Amino acid sequence: MTTETLAKTPLHALHLELGARMVPFAGYDMPVQYPLGVMKEHLHTREAAGLFDVSHMGQILLRGENAGRALETLVPVDIIDLPVGLQRYAMFTDAQGGILDDLMVANLGDDTLYLVVNAACKDQDLAHLQKHIGEQCQIECLFEERALLALQGPKAVDVLARLAPEVSKMTFMQVARVRLLGSECIVSRSGYTGEDGFEISVAVDQAETLARSLLAEAEVEAIGLGARDSLRLEAGLCLYGHDMSSATTPIEASLLWAISKVRRADGERAGNFPGAERVFEQQQKGVARKRVGLLPQERVPVREGAEIVDADGTVIGQVCSGGFGPTLGAPVAMGYVNASHTAVDSDVWAVVRGKRVAMKVAKTPFVPQRYYRG
């Protein structure tokens, strides 16, 4: 794609004004970094507050009294009993139990569910919903109507509370309709950095005004995709298309925690989602490979795609995400390895430019998550 054919978010002109270096990402012209640089942007988010433009992601509303029950047929998550004012992490699965996308689902009340899906998958997700549950509920696509901002970091709550004091009372994964600068927004206390923070859905024509207001606060810096990636990697958070895909199941991706107990094999509403039989079989019998955290033992970044080998040089897996963790002060990675090497502290090696780099299997997150749970 050329720059001319890439889509642009409502904040595109602001990114250019701020001196961002733009790159193609999921069909959009997106800021990878600003003059501050990836390292400082990352550390600033951990210490204060960073503002991310995530308007490329897809926002969808499901309306109707059957919306929750209908959506449950596509995800292994408890949607029917999701309380008003809360959101949950979910996954669309296929008939083989593979992950089609991961998403957030919020109950806004009044028989309305609010979905946020990944940018690269949003058109296929919308088609998936329309094909399978379009006759059971009303599906409203907000791709062109709403922008999405993420305000992340320990001082995010101080900043946003200046515009709407009530947000300080929200806890992790709560969601509410909040008026910011006169515009009705959907605000969730959540994010993708491992830090406390908020994601803010705002009307497209109000997005720049809100972004400029937040950036005017002393604690806030604009943050690009580079630091977004290193922040989520330190927090052990998966990126769709890298750490999971239709070729991986929730069990292989180490996402059993995201399958609600009520939807598991022994739950009250067991199964009834695509690929349930295979997922349950894997849960019971185990899998041949699994996603694990990896800590390189040398100061050599290990990138996505690098082969992972055992002491004999036999290939036992592949790195799915990797880079330098500025907060940790060391390289970090995640990868899929054979079940025989998934135990914490197992010795494995990555092949980087023909040379072996020693690594240890590690628990994630690499940096403690600091979500506000009240």
* 10-43 pLDDT per residue, tens: 999 999 999 999 999 999 999 999 999 999 999 9
Cβ neighbours, 10 Å, residue 7: 16
Average pLDDT, the chain: 97
Q: Are 149 and 191 spatial neighbours (Cβ–Cβ below 8 Å)?
A: no
Residues 339-368 as b/e (b if ≥16 CB within 10 A, e otherwise) read: eebbeeebebbbbbeeeebebebbebbbbe
C-beta neighbour count of 167 within 10 angstroms: 22
β pairing state of 49-53 and 220-222? parallel
User: Could you check whether the bond before residue 31 is cis, i.e. omega within 30 degrees of 0?
Assistant: no
d(CA 306, CA 304): 6
The pLDDT of residue 369 = 96
Q: What are phi and psi of 214, to 5 degrees?
A: -70, -40
Is residue 256 a contact partner of residue 250, using CB atoms and an 8 Å limit? yes
Q: Give 309's contacts (C-beta < 8 A, 6+ positions apart).
A: 315, 316, 348, 349, 350, 351, 356
Instruction: Tell me how far apart the alpha carbons of residues 156 and 214 are, in angstroms, rounded to a whole number.
Output: 10
Give the pLDDT score at 1: 54
Please, which contacts does 38-41 make with residues 24 or more away whose CB atoms are closer than 8 Å?
38/224, 38/226, 38/227, 38/230, 39/326, 41/221, 41/222, 41/223, 41/224, 41/226, 41/227
Mean pLDDT value across residues 344-356: 97
β-pairing, 307-309 vs 315-325, is antiparallel
- Tens of pLDDT along 35-79? 999 999 999 999 999 999 999 999 999 999 999 999 999 999 999
Q: Are 291 and 258 in contact (CB under 8 A)?
A: no
User: Would you give the distance in Å from CA 114 to the centre of its chain?
Assistant: 16
Q: What pLDDT shows up at residue 2?
A: 62
Residue whose C-alpha is closest to residue 278's, from 249, 320, 301: 249
Whole-model pTM over 0.95: yes
In this prediction, residue 213 carries a pLDDT of 98
pLDDT digit string, tens, across residues 99-151: 999 999 999 999 999 999 999 999 999 999 999 999 999 999 999 999 999 99
The model's pLDDT over 142-191, given as tens digits with 9 standing for 90+, comes to 999 999 999 999 999 999 999 999 999 999 999 999 999 999 999 999 99
- 13 vs 147: CA distance, rounded Å: 14
Q: What is the CA radius of gyration of the chain?
A: 21
Q: 38-47 and 225-234 helices cross at what angle (nearest 10)?
A: 60
- Scanning 141-218, the segments in alpha helix (DSSP H) are 156-161, 207-215
3-state helix, strand, coil in the chain (%, to 5): 25, 35, 40
CA–CA separation, 357 vs 337, rounded Å? 15
- In 2-98, where do the E strands start and end? 21-25, 28-33, 49-53, 58-63, 87-93
Burial of 112 (0-12, 13-18, 19+ CB in 10 A): middle
- Asked whether residue 302 carries a pLDDT value surpassing 90, the answer given is yes
Q: Report pLDDT for 4.
A: 75
Q: What pLDDT is attached to residue 365?
A: 98
